[in-house]
Amino acid sequence: MLRAFVRKLKIIYLSCAAYEHHRLANRAADQLRMHSTKTLKDIGITRGTISAAAHHKCPWCSDQVWQEWIK
């Protein structure tokens, strides 16, 4: 019973951490969108791939990354 309780607490904690990671990825994507297209080309990012690049390792968006976090 204690093991199940600890497992649930771990999942709740990881869910909160995943949401925080997701919010930070959104903030990073918003910051990148403020730059000019020329500056983004210098970095090697296009406007279409900003969100995908920011959320690449986001456990909130990717089930595969979430499964790695739960292990």
Contact assessment for residue 47 and residue 40, using Cβ atoms and an 8 Å cutoff: yes
The reported pLDDT for the residue numbered 15 is 95
Tokens of 55: 């959320």
Contact assessment for residue 65 and residue 58, using Cβ atoms and an 8 Å cutoff: yes
The reported pLDDT for the residue numbered 46 is 81
H helix or E strand, kind and range, residue 64: helix 63-70
How do residues 12-44 score in pLDDT, each as one tens digit? Answer: 999 999 999 999 999 988 888 888 888 888 888
Contact assessment for residue 61 and residue 22, using Cβ atoms and an 8 Å cutoff: yes
The reported pLDDT for the residue numbered 12 is 96
